[in-house]
Every structure is written in C-alpha cells, then in structure tokens.
Amino acid sequence: MEEFFRRKYSKMLMSACLSALLIVSIASATFGAPEALAAPIDCDSKPMNQLRGVAFMDPVLSRNENGGSFSAPADYVPESMQRLKSYGFNLIRVPYYWESYVFNPTQFLNELDLVAKTAQANNICVIFDNHHWFTSSHWKTDIGKSGKAIGFPSFVVKSFPSKATYYDTAGPFWNALLSNSLTINGKKIWDVQWDFMSKVINKVDGYSSVAGYEILNEPHLWSKTQYEKLGNYNTYLAKKIRSISDKKIVFDRETTKEFVRDPTQEYKIVPRGVNKLVYGPHLYSVPTSGGGGLKQIQNIAAWSKAWGVEIMIGEFSAHSQTDMTAFLKVLEQQGFGWTYWKWSRATGTGAGHLGNVVFESDSVAKTQALKWLLASYNAVY
C-alpha cells in the first residue's frame, strides 16, 4: 500500500510539474512573459551592421512639458514590439524628451523601464535617444516646419526670450549650450543635462536589450566655429556616460542653421578618449548615382574607417518603393545599421517625409510606407 501511494503521488507530482512547465512555456511564447524567461540577448555586443529597425515613438516619452502627446491604446508598446519582431527587425531607436520627464518624472522613468523590458522579451535592441525637435516648446515661435517644437524644458531655456523667429530665439541658447556658458541654479548646463541623462541610464542600463545611448539628436549649429564646441560637448557627455555604463555611445551629425554644413569640419565633433562609439547621422536624400545622398554615404563610410566608429543611420524616409529600395540597398552594401523614421500611432504627422510613418496594429492597416519598407527589406536582406 505504501508503495502504491508513493507511486500514485509521484505520478501526481510529475503531472503537476509538467503542467507548470507547459504554462511557463506558453507564457514564454507570448508577450508578458516574466523577464527571467525572455530569450537571452546581448545587444551591447552586437555589431551595428546586424541591427535594423525603426525609430519608435512612445506616447509617454514624447510628452511636452504640459503633457501634450499623441494618443495610443494601453497595449501600444507590447503590440508594436511583437509586430516589429515578426517583421524581422531587431533595433529601435527610442526618442525621449527632457520635457516629458519634467511633466511627470515617475511615469517617464516607468515608461523607459517598460520599453526596455518589452524589447528584451522580444529580442529587440534599444538605443535611447536624447531628442529635441527645434529645441523647446517653451518658445512660441514659428519654426517653419510641420509639428510642434519640443525638447529642452522651460527652466533651461527661459532666460532666452522668445522672439519673432526661431532663428533669432534659439541661436543664443545653442551658443550658450555648446559653450557651457549657461548656469542654472549655480550649476553649468552640461552638468544639469547630465543629471537628467544619468537618471535615464541608471533606470535601464541593467537590461541586456539596451545597446546604448545617444547624446543628443541633431545638435543645432549656427556657425562653423561651433563644430569644435560640439566636439567638446560630445566629449564631456560621452565620458560621463562611460563613467556609469559600458554600452555604445551614439553621437549625431549636426544640423546647421544659417550656413551650409561643412564636411571638412565633421571630424571635430567626434568624442575624444571614449571607446565603443557609434556615429548616427540622418539621411533624407535618396542615395542614387551622382546624387548628394550617395556622396553623403561615401563620406560617412570614409569617416567610419578614419575615426574607428560604427555607423547607425538614425533616420531616413522614403517617398516611393523605388526610393525605399535604393536606401536599403546602399545601407546593406555599406554594412550600416539603421532605424527608419518613424513608427508611431500618430500616422498623420504632416506633409513631406515626416508624414511617411510606418505603422500597423489590430485596428490600423499597414501604412503605405510600411508596405514599402517591408517589401524592400525582404528583397534586400
């Protein structure tokens, strides 16, 4: 009898264990599985030439200082990640805005955690991008573009009064930022910015899905004398990042105002004395034979070798299937990582390339740009 019960309960125990294992297996195969069950991923060690995907707009991380953003359903992040994984993408560049942190620090940091955790569950790598679009929503100026300015919070820019045009308003601020001559409550602006950026890094650096951090999206330069200043700025913040993280550090190409970009000066913006660098320029000119886009690609490839850095084309956008294929063919040939601009629930973002959003959900059909991207991606890679 004792042996009977022993065998009986052994079978019952085995059955229970198998049932539990089945439940765990099912959970692991669907979104929402516990972090410990996610497949192993080490994005920091992946070469950029193996990483391809989209710029991923998040409604919480994209808030301005007053809380304004695009609307999205509660499952936007997990559903989007599942779709991106199903397409074969393995990289997202995630813009976040300092203004969003100021609006609600707790929600902002929790959202960073959600994005990193969900990406890890889906074997997707993340570059967290310290973003701005025409500097700040604090100024009520005509930026001359569709969309609204966002980025630096009011306490950073309020000492620079709003004037009739963006150029007149923002120029003095950018000079002060790049020169580190702005002081806020007794602290230099680079250190004030680092206080914010360090909170981002400390929140997500433990996730293996996090490949690295972008210092600043499209720094604005107003004269050629500021190339060297941008290099000093990049160096300072790159070293700060390296002091608390060993992950990739992305530095972006400048956007020039009131003068033409000078490729001979580009070397000056490279962070000095820091390893694991990624150059992340944006390319909106189609790289066709004899065109300016292809010349930019050639310059970027040459700089990659000269500077010893990896390349991630952080933004590009196409207006046709032909253009999309032209972009992807050149990026594949050069071995560049890339993120298409952009994945967003807000699919109606204005005219030009900023309207060519890639998106799909249970309630939204594939956008035309997503159809182009997937067709070209499947043909090229």
Which CATH number do you get for residue 174? 3.20.20.80
Q: Specify if 305 maps to a domain.
A: yes
How do beta strands 210-214 and 125-130 pair?
parallel
Judge residue 378's burial from the number of C-beta atoms within 10 Å of its C-beta, 0-12 exposed, 13-18 middle, 19 or more buried. exposed
Whole-model pTM? 0.88
Q: Tell me the pLDDT of the chain (381 aa) as tens digits.
A: 333 333 333 334 333 333 333 333 333 333 333 334 345 689 999 999 999 999 999 999 999 999 988 889 999 999 999 999 999 999 999 999 999 999 999 999 999 999 999 999 999 999 999 999 999 999 987 776 656 899 999 999 999 999 888 999 999 999 999 999 999 999 999 999 999 999 999 999 999 999 999 999 999 999 999 999 999 999 999 999 999 999 999 999 999 998 999 999 999 999 999 999 999 999 999 999 999 999 999 999 999 999 999 999 999 999 999 999 999 999 999 999 999 999 999 866 444 444 589 999 999 999 999 999 999 999 999
Name the residue among 216, 211, 233, 299 with its Cα closest to residue 263.
299
Instruction: Note the pLDDT of residue 347.
Output: 67
Q: Is the dihedral of CA 47, 53, 55, 57 positive or negative?
A: negative
Instruction: Note the pLDDT of residue 144.
Output: 63
Q: Specify if 185 maps to a domain.
A: yes
Judge residue 281's burial from the number of C-beta atoms within 10 Å of its C-beta, 0-12 exposed, 13-18 middle, 19 or more buried. buried
Judge residue 35's burial from the number of C-beta atoms within 10 Å of its C-beta, 0-12 exposed, 13-18 middle, 19 or more buried. exposed
Name the residue among 256, 258, 275 with its Cα closest to residue 266.
256
Count of domains observed in the chain: 1
Q: Specify if 144 maps to a domain.
A: yes
Q: How far is CA 198 from CA 154, 195, 203, 215, 237, in A?
A: 20, 5, 8, 11, 10
Q: Specify if 39 maps to a domain.
A: no
Contact 180, 188 (CB under 8 A): yes
Q: Specify if 226 maps to a domain.
A: yes
Q: Specify if 42 maps to a domain.
A: no
Residue 312 parent element (H or E): strand 310-313
User: What is the spatial distance between Cα 40 and Cα 87, in angstroms, rounded to a whole number?
Assistant: 20
Q: Specify if 35 maps to a domain.
A: no
Q: Specify if 34 maps to a domain.
A: no
Instruction: Note the pLDDT of residue 143.
Output: 76
Contact 90, 53 (CB under 8 A): yes
Contact 108, 64 (CB under 8 A): no
Number of alpha helices (DSSP H) and beta strands (DSSP E) in the chain: 11, 12
pLDDT tens digits, one per residue of 292-328: 999 999 999 999 999 999 999 999 999 999 999 999 9
End-to-end CA distance of the chain: 65
The residue length of the chain stands at 381
Instruction: Note the pLDDT of residue 348.
Output: 60
Instruction: Note the pLDDT of residue 148.
Output: 83
Instruction: Note the pLDDT of residue 8.
Output: 36
| Domain with 269 in it | 48-380
Which phi and psi (to 5°) does residue 312 adopt?
Answer: -130, 115
Tokens of 281: 């320029």
Neighbours of 1 (CB within 10 A): 5
